[in-house]
Amino acid sequence: MTTIEQTALNNLIHNEPYARKVLPFIKGDYFSDRTERIVFEEIQKFVDKYNALPNQNSLEVELDSRKDLNEEDYKRVLSVLKSLKSDDDVNFEWLVETTEQFCKDKAVYNAIVDGIKIIDGKDKERGVDALPSLLTDALAVGFDNRVGHDYLLDSESRFDFYHKVEEKIPFDLDFFNRITKGGLPQKTLNIALAGTGVGKSLFMCHMAANCLSQGKSVLYITLEMAEERIAERIDANLMNISIDDLHELPKQMYDTKMDAIIKNTNGTLVIKEYPTASAHSNHFRGLIKELAIKKSFKPDIIFIDYLNICASSRFKANGNVNSYMYIKAIAEELRGLAVETNVPIMSATQTTRSGYSNSDVGLEDTSESFGLPATADLMFALISNEELDELNQIAVKQLKNRYNDPTTNKRFVIGIDRAKMKLFDVGEDEQKGLADSNQKEDKDLFASPVFDKTEFGEEWKV
């Protein structure tokens, strides 16, 4: 009876289109029979070296030069090699699909065998923490021969891409939806820049509460505040009561409000606390895998509060590396995590000391590293002063935007209720001369106090 292993070896030396398609994905350890594995290894080495398929004679010569085969092994391998014959009638599509399924099955089987060795303590190099990645990598096995976008041949798929509705997570704030064209796309890193106490965590807690209300699976990672403090802010937001009143709420009323929240959403929110500056992207990656195994939880969006107090998986904080490279590395690692997990990541960063007192914050006010805004897809500043506090407002200024034109709606204001940890839209009249203040014809309308003390504001008042 012919096996899939024999069929694959037959076609690897007689069917070049098949060999070109599957060789990048087949591994020697998928062949349980040692003689078949040796034949495959010789085919693979020949193709890697000469970029051409070997014939039986060339493989026999290569076998003769091997030093790890005794006479009995050599005879068995030679027998397998001589049995390989061309089959022109085989269906190419069936052959590829069957080979792909063979690779998937073998990858899972090998992962389980390796897992048992780890559990039994026979694997001295890997511990039980390697088990999730073993199974994840095995389940991800598949044939994908795309090696780039062919501009001329792939024009049709490119047209479909132009008209595809991109999956996004929308805000409940109108101007944020305007500047992002409907919300945060997957595989992106988004950064809020603000001074101490302005509202970085408040913004992310409000957004996390909104995502939960939309039925999304939300992962909130905090390195600054305790898990309970983050949950407290989200409670105040969703229950629409102040934090002070939340502490005075009777148990029965609290349970009633929680039941209402549970009833009105099918989303999930997981809050995980790490000690400051102790966790990096690999810890977050491990957490995501652990949540998938233990709770069948896969996040739709990840909040990290906040980026500057994360660690880097590539550099040691006390090593020979400056703050520019260190923070840039963290940003790159988090963006890589966003791409890998296919979700948007929302985080924050501090302004510099001069930026804290600046009412027109710019990219140059990013603390520690200018490499962060270079890596982020969206970056905006949250600005507050006494005048805005009296109006229960906070100003937003776009700093970088890969989703839309950053000069449109460059500045706008949103309402803020710090007691209830909520943000809300304000009337259009509050935005006059502010939302599109890059346009000179709006000069006579500019009347917002937030920029009056800056050079930019002085220019507009002339």
Distances (CA, A) of 130 to 115, 136, 290, 333, 425: 8, 10, 11, 20, 47
Percent of the chain with pLDDT over 90: 44
CA angle 171, 243, 273 (to 5 degrees): 70
What CATH number has the domain spanning 4-139? 1.10.860.10
Residue 440 has pLDDT above 50, yes or no: no
C-alpha–C-alpha distance, residues 196 and 306, integer Å: 12
Which alpha helices (DSSP H) does 342-398 contain, by range? Answer: 353-356, 371-375, 386-390
Residue 435 has pLDDT above 60, yes or no: no
Residue that the structure tokens 């398609």 belong to: 21
Which range of 87-91, 160-164, 196-200, 415-419 scores highest in mean pLDDT? It is 415-419
> What is the value of pTM for the model shown?
0.68
Q: What is the mean pLDDT of residues 328-349?
A: 94
pLDDT of the residue at 67: 83
Q: Pinpoint the residues of the chain covered by CATH 1.10.860.10.
A: 4-139
Residue 56 has pLDDT above 90, yes or no: no
Residue 460 has pLDDT above 70, yes or no: no
pLDDT of the residue at 78: 87
pLDDT of the residue at 449: 46
Helix (H) or strand (E) holding 414: strand 411-417
192-247 per-position pLDDT tens digit: 998 888 889 999 999 999 999 999 999 999 998 999 999 999 999 999 999 999 99
What CATH number has the domain spanning 168-461? 3.40.50.300
Burial of 263 (0-12, 13-18, 19+ CB in 10 A): exposed
pLDDT of the residue at 404: 92
Q: How confident is the model at residue 145 (pLDDT cuts 50, 70, 90)?
A: low
